[in-house]
Chain A
Amino acid sequence: MSATMLATKSARPRRLLVSAVAVSAVLASAACSAAQQSASSASSSSSGPVHNGGALVTAQPNDVDPSSFLKTAVGNIQAEYAVFETLTLIDTKTGQPQGVLAKSWTLAPDAKSLDIKLRDDVTFHSGKKLTAADVIFTIQKVQDPTTGAANSAIANQISDLKADGDYDVKLAFKQPLTNIFDLFETMPIVNKDTYADYAAGQNVDGTGRFEWKSWTPGAKVMLTKYAKYRDAKNTHLDSIEIDVVKDPTALTSAVRSGSVQYAVGMAALDSRSIGSQPGYSIVTSGGSAIPLAFDVTKAPFDNQTVRQAIEYAIDRNRIVQQVEGGQAQASNVPWKPSTVGYDATQAKHYTYQPDKAKQMLAKAGLSGTSFQVLMINTPEMTGIFQIVKNNLAAVGLDAEPVVVQDTDYNARIAARNMGTPAFLMLNGNGLTPASAVTNRPELLANNNVSHFQSDQYSQQVQQVASAATVDKQKTALHDYNAYFVDQAFAAPLIVRPTLSVRSTSVNGISSTQQGFITLGQAWLTK
């Protein structure tokens, strides 16, 4: 065989390989644009005038759960207030309720009854008119323990519930209930005739600006504009697609690649990182308080001085800067600054004083003690723990982490057995104090997760829960805070908002007091 033939033959595999690569590149480039064109691009244009039309594509890590609209399931954070409406929504700036389905209401001076007048121009997406019967059905569903609804403790204070015609609802309460609007906030009004179909994702019939078009479990939900909404001219989007993207890296990729224009549930670090880049912006919503709580039945935390010493030992500002990137506030009270009766002095009761902490621990006879701290397995919690551990080591205490999944963590809360003497918590702080002290597992008067119990605490919880006027609310909250902070069994380290990221091509995103996202009047720039 000649050298030329050998050279020719041996060059053939190489030419085949090169050709294959070239063909692949051609095919890929030809096909590429089609798939990418189907996803809206995240242009870097700034917000402009309101523009009608377009499809908003968003993402979140939790799947939508159509069986849980009354539970405030985190998976419904974007869909719930697009498809459904509540009687009222609390203005996040003023803290006052604003009517949505309720046209007007009259709360009795003693706050023991409420008369609601409904709008008479509301229809469900099926065409059925909203009536008082739907409102009563919804409240009764919340009261039903098998529903597992949010704020059922408030609903259970409703002693009498009746309709007076199609558009009047009269409620009577067992005790003064100024926090009834917290219940309304998390109670989307459902269609009593089709509610049973919701769980399967079918016939999800609401009154909101968008209709539930389709749901692919684990993948996405499609919402389309409800053309017959009473104020449809102010619904700007044609559709909303909510994609489920569980992996944090994939969620970041989705935003950066322009596949989605708005993402909820990103890690705070990712949110801040992307939000600071051109073409993106951070959206803040809701909020959480993060306390280091203690089981007061377990040593050394049965000693109030020890608990207080630990509060002095922790550098909250370091947590704010290093874990939260400045998007948080050091606070000892679990309320937002907009809360009626909020006292900034009480919120900063425990400043960083490690020397004082050491003195208090020495006085309590504690040195070199080791204990476990339970936390949910998230970067934020483990990051906060690292700082807490470092701070506590400086005052002679050794904290060991016990990191668990949220399913395990929630089961421990439900069982009131955290398993460790100390635990980091992450609690929403959107509720008014009257609701929070009767709902939050760390704040309950009886059977809280810290097993803290005292007559004085029970009394103060009762006063906060039943304060009927603004002045009484302020006084009750001030007294409660003073005692709560002093006892230090669940005092927060920080409070911080929830961060999400939007492309600057989408505007008009807002949120409820509880941190649920309202996309109803969002729009895309041209």
Chain B
Amino acid sequence: MTRFLVRKMPSLMFVLLASSVVAFALPRLAPGDVAVTLAGQDPTPAAVAAIRQQLGLNRSPVLQYFDWIVGVLHGNLGQSYVLHRSVASVIGDRIESTVELALAAALLVVVFGTTLGVLAGSTKRRWARATLDLVNSFFIAVPSFLIGLVLILVFGVLHRWLPVIGEVSVLDNPSFGIQYLILPAIALALAPAAVVARLLQTEMLSARNEDYVDLAVSKGASPSRITTRHVLRNSLGTAVVAVGLQIGHLLAGAVIIEAIFARNGLGQLAVSSVQTRDFTVLQVLILGVVFVAVLCQIFTEIGLASLDPRIRLGDQR
């Protein structure tokens, strides 16, 4: 494991470095000027120039990049132009919301996806399989924002059973916090769960044709034992990879879900930073997303190796 991680480091560093350049340059390509936003209504060129100088925006982009990246390496993420606070504190205020939503959705992805996949991969009844296929296809096809809107309509507007906007921290008030999480987490999780279910179903159906399953049947193993000990165990690798990949989709989908449910997470922070050209916040967010995505990939590989003894991390075959 240690050798695996050490061998991953150079590529990880390269990805982060390249991403930092993109994170810095990309927001600055958009038209608009944050100094104009900060200077108030119809500012004079002198006022705008003064603010640009105050923020260091009149320096060369290369110098600005190096100042920023050196700061990041020293733990200083910079200062938000628009919010007048450190980027670290701005992100710190919002990260709990996104983590709560992502974890809740990830849990639902695993639970729904595995349950649906196992059901679809286990049942021999044609009508049941067709129904589950239909359900899966539906949730894969329907966008998460549409599911979210329907949930809001049914559970918040027509029946007022659950809160539809805002949030309460689960750590501050678990009962209320979970209620605020239910609808957005479901909206976010259904599509990735359906993807996981479909992949798991396919793997399970394929595994059922393997010789070891025939051997287990001939030895008199019960269907449930065959399903759990042989078919599912050998199919989970694909599911783990799928879940790992879907985590990235969860983070992307969270932007839209946070907007629809008015959650104050990192997704909304990214959107508002784009709108106000708050470069310092945006570039840290982009870099952070890349870092999380790379970490997820590493953990997926580790998880896969633990499930499948044939896979050795970093071994040459």
Contact = CB atoms under 8 A, between A and B. Distances in A.
Interface stretch (B2-10, B41-49, B295-303, B309-317): B41-49
Interface stretch (B68-76, B157-165, B191-199, B206-214): B157-165
A3 interface: no
B156 A243 contact: no
A410 B97 CA distance: 32
Nearest to A258: B160
A253 B47 CA distance: 40
Contact of A219 (B36, B119, B122, B264): B264
Interface in B37-73: 37-48, 50-51
Given A13-B119, A250-B262, A257-B157, A439 B93 contact: no
Contact of B259 (A147, A246, A407): A246
A63 interface: yes
Contacts of A379: none
B84 interface: yes
B39 A35 contact: no
Given A148-B38, A148-B47, A411 B85 contact: no
B223 A147 contact: no
A20 B175 CA distance: 19
B276 interface: yes
Interface stretch (B98-106, B246-254, B266-274, B282-290): B266-274
A28 B162 contact: yes
Interface string B13-38: 00000000000000000111110111
B218 interface: no
A454 interface: no
A149 B31 contact: no
B305 interface: no
A408 B32 contact: yes
A403 interface: no
Contacts of A4: none
B269 A218 contact: yes
A9 B124 CA distance: 12
Given A28-B182, A199-B84, A38 B259 contact: no
A416 to B, nearest CB: 9
Nearest to B33: A411
Contacts of A34: 175-176, 179
Contacts of B38: 148
Interface in A375-415: 404-408, 410-411, 413-415
B85 A200 contact: yes
A404 B46 contact: no
Contact of A148 (B31, B43, B115, B182): B43
Given A150-B41, A243-B165, A32 B47 contact: no
A441 interface: yes
A257 B164 contact: yes
A34 B177 CA distance: 11
A116 B144 CA distance: 59
A461 B239 CA distance: 72
Contact of A413 (B42, B47, B50): B42
B94 interface: yes
Contacts of B268: 218, 246
B229 to A, nearest CB: 14
B285 to A, nearest CB: 13
A145 B122 contact: no
Given A253-B164, A410-B37, A1 B275 contact: no
Interface string A192-204: 0000000110000
A42 B60 CA distance: 54
Nearest to A147: B40
A405 B275 contact: yes
B149 A249 contact: yes
A495 to B, nearest CB: 19
B184 to A, nearest CB: 11
A72 B41 contact: yes
Contacts of A411: 31-33, 36
Nearest to A24: B182
A36 B93 contact: no
Given A246-B272, A253-B165, A410 B36 contact: yes
A35 B32 contact: no
A369 interface: no
A441 B282 CA distance: 31
Given A13-B122, A257-B152, A216 B264 contact: yes
Interface string A235-271: 0000000011111011101101111100000000000
A150 B161 contact: no
Contact of A441 (B36, B42, B122, B276): B42
Contact of B277 (A72, A220, A407): A407
A407 B156 CA distance: 34
Given A200-B84, A245-B262, A405-B32, A71 B118 contact: no
Interface in A67-94: 67-68, 71-72
Interface in B127-156: 149, 152-153, 156
Given A17-B119, A32-B179, A35-B179, A250 B165 contact: yes
Nearest to B122: A13
A63 B179 CA distance: 24
B268 to A, nearest CB: 6
A345 interface: no
Quick one: which of A38, A404, A407, A413 has the most chain B CB within 10 A? A407
Contacts of B119: 13, 17
A67 B84 contact: yes
B222 interface: yes
B259 A217 contact: no
Nearest to B221: A1
A250 B164 CA distance: 8
Given A32-B162, A35-B163, A218-B269, A145 B262 contact: no
A408 B94 contact: no
Contacts of B220: 1
Quick one: which of A13, A41, A243, A244 has the most chain B CB within 10 A? A13
Interface in A324-381: none
Contacts of B264: 216, 218-219, 244
Contacts of A415: 45
Nearest to B220: A1
Contact of B262 (A39, A67, A243): A243
B56 to A, nearest CB: 16
A476 to B, nearest CB: 23
A233 interface: no
B11 interface: no
Contacts of A147: 40
B216 to A, nearest CB: 13
A445 to B, nearest CB: 14
A13 B224 CA distance: 10
Contacts of A405: 32, 275
19 contacts: A13-B122, A29-B161, A31-B175, A34-B176, A35-B168, A217-B85, A243-B165, A244-B262, A250-B259, A253-B149, A257-B157, A259-B165, A405-B275, A407-B36, A410-B36, A411-B33, A414-B33, A414-B36, A414-B43
Given A148-B41, A408-B32, 20 more contacts: A31-B178, A34-B176, A35-B168, A35-B176, A36-B163, A146-B51, A217-B90, A219-B167, A243-B165, A250-B260, A257-B163, A257-B164, A259-B156, A259-B164, A259-B166, A404-B31, A408-B30, A411-B31, A414-B39, A441-B42
> Which 8 residue pairs are nearest across A and B when measured between Cβ atoms?
A148-B40, A407-B32, A35-B179, A219-B264, A247-B259, A257-B156, A245-B262, A32-B161
